[in-house]
Amino acid sequence: MRAGSRALSVVISLVIVQVGVPAGVSAGASAADEEAGPGVCDTVVGVPSAPQGAEIVTPGTDLSAVTRTSPAGTTFWLRPGTHLLASDQFGQVIPKDGNRYLGAPGAVLDGRGINRAAFTQQAADVVIRGLTIRGFVADQDQGVVNHDSGPRWVIEGNIIEDNKGAAMMAGNGQQVRGNCLRDNGQYGINAYRLGGLTDLVIEDNEITGNNTGDWETVVPGCGCSGGAKFWAVNGADIRGNWVHHNHGTGLWADTNNNDFVVEDNLIEDNEAEGLFYELSYNLVVSGNTFRRNMLVQGARRAARGDNFPVAAVYISESGGDPRIPARTDKIDIRGNMFSDNWSGITLWENADRFCNSPANTSSLSCTPLVPLVSTCAQPGIASAPLYDDCRWKTQRVHVRENTFEFDSETPGCLSLCGRMAVVSHYGTYPEWSPYKGWLVSDAITFEQDNRWYDNSYYGPWTFVAHDTSRSLTIDAWLAAPYNQDTCSTFGDSEGCG
């Protein structure tokens, strides 16, 4: 979100006993053994009285019908109790521009396992505040609130829980603040819109227990699960959230995202990565605490003999690029606390995955530097500029001023925990690929400005570089040809100061 755009467009009294990161825990704090206290999901939410001029809606009134007969810009205040929509799958509220839907404490909008979506279509500047929204049955990859990605919605201080699909979709300029997004079947947030999205704010939410449908088992390899997922979003501020205990990745940005700031969040106990940044660009990750992420899936992989260095933060075919406008031209991972995760940070670049390659699961997408997928083909791809521009490169990643602590006796943690990695593999596919052999492994390790420095390490850390067969000691990681972690400290060692 650009400067000056974070102010709420509407100010209405909203009772929130406590919002955001749990009591007693400062996101990015060094006291990583602090246990989380109550979060948004344990607070009282609601708008205690109807604003002047609001239309008052009592349980038993069809909110969708009331919306149809009221002008744009109407404020609706829902009394305490359970509110229902029409008893068919397409029962839904279709807001008009500027409508506001405010829930009194105890106001529930219940889909009863019948309705697919709660708020739909593409009205602008809609406000949803203070409601509990549950029991809706959205289809895969669809959402319950803002189903059709209307622009500039403010979704604030709600409990959106126990729905199938995603709790919400996203539209341009959407602000998601102080919500409990809990136990939804697929995602807490699915930030996807055909043509892409811009300027999202995701702030002070609790995002927990999502992917109850276990989608990666239902559709193996779908990449369709977790706390929140972002697709082709240009500009996102993700601040002050508590992202925890999701059945998969906590925060996942997949394919041509750019200009993300992930700051001052507490990200813990997610079964897979805390943060997964994939096929994307220009990212700041600062002041966060990452605790006990990837322990579940890391142990599963290790048990089947998979030694790939999965980690709390996974940067996959993503990097900084000055040609793509953003608030940074790097991936800057700085000033974070990493505590007892299944490893710290992995930088990965798949040698066989590039625009127009059959190995690219985002098969309809190309890098933003190349207009057509079909352009990335022989003979042009073998020389500049396509040789570089057809790849999503893991480049210009700086890992600095972080604290990494790891206890080898962490429950569920095996010998493959406690690693840091910058790796690729031997390129083989497709037959016409210009990236065969160790070209990409050499590039990600030595040529693409991927650097660790000024970090602090505690515990038995090891390092993996170039390819997964190269496991390095601290001394080897520091020495040529890797020359990593300049001025970092290990245990009681002294850095450059």
**What average pLDDT does the segment 325-332 reach?**
98
CA dist., res. 44 & res. 329, Å (int): 41
At residue 36, the pLDDT reads: 61
Measured between alpha carbons, how far is 246 from 216 in angstroms, rounded to an integer? 13
> 192 — phi, psi (to 5°)?
-135, 135
* Fold entry, domain 15-490: Pectate Lyase C-like (2.160.20)
- Structure token digits, residue 206: 């609790």
Please list, in sequence order, all residues whose beta carbon lies within 8 angstroms of the beta carbon of residue 470, skipping any fewer than 6 positions away: 464
Say how far apart CA 36 and CA 38 lie, in whole Å: 7
Quickly tell me which residue has 């709660």 as its tokens: 118
Q: How far is CA 39 from CA 45, 113, 134, 180, 382, in A?
A: 12, 27, 19, 9, 53
Q: Name the helix (H) or strand (E) containing 182.
A: strand 180-182
| Range from 1-5, 148-152, 298-302, 320-324 carrying the lowest mean pLDDT | 1-5
Instruction: Give me the pLDDT at residue 381, please.
Output: 98
User: Amino acid identity, residue 428?
Assistant: T
Query: Would the pLDDT of 217 be above 60?
Result: yes
- DSSP-assigned beta bridge partners for residue 420: 463
E strand or H helix that includes residue 242: strand 242-244
How far is 241 from 361, CA to CA, in rounded Å?
30
Structure tokens at 269: 């106990």
DSSP string computed for 52-115 = TTPEEE-TTS-HHHHHHHS-TT-EEEEPSEEEE--SSTT--B---TT-EEEE-TTEEEE-TTT-
What's the mean per-residue pLDDT of the chain? 91
With cut-offs at 50, 70 and 90, classify the pLDDT of residue 410: confident
How is 402-419 classified by DSSP, letter by letter? Answer: -EEE--TTSTT--TT-SE
- 251: pLDDT strictly greater than 90: yes
Q: Where are the domains of the chain?
A: 15-490
Q: 455-493, pLDDT tens digit by residue?
A: 999 999 999 999 999 999 999 999 999 999 999 999 977
Q: Which residues pair with 239 in a beta bridge?
A: 203, 263
State the pLDDT at residue 326. 98
Mean pLDDT in residue range 25-49: 64
Beta pairing class for 154-156 and 175-177: parallel
Using one digit for the tens of pLDDT, what is the confidence trace for 66-115?
Answer: 999 999 999 999 999 999 999 999 999 999 999 999 999 999 999 999 99
pTM: 0.93
User: 379: which 2 tokens?
Assistant: 């003979």
**Cβ atoms of residues 453 and 486 within 8 Å:** yes
Q: Quote the tokens at residue 248.
A: 């998969």
DSSP 443: I
DSSP 3-state of 446: helix
- Determine contact, residues 376/356, Cβ cutoff 8 Å: yes
Q: Give which of 268, 343, 339, 273 is closest to 309, Cα–Cα.
A: 343
Question: With bands split at pLDDT 50, 70 and 90, how would you rate the model's confidence at 16?
Answer: very low
Across 120-125, average pLDDT: 98
Q: At 380, give phi and psi (nearest 5°).
A: -60, -35
Q: Is the pLDDT of residue 397 over 60?
A: yes
What DSSP state is assigned to residue 218?
H
For residue 221, what pLDDT band results from cuts at 50, 70 and 90? confident
> Cα(33)–Cα(56) distance, rounded to whole angstroms?
47
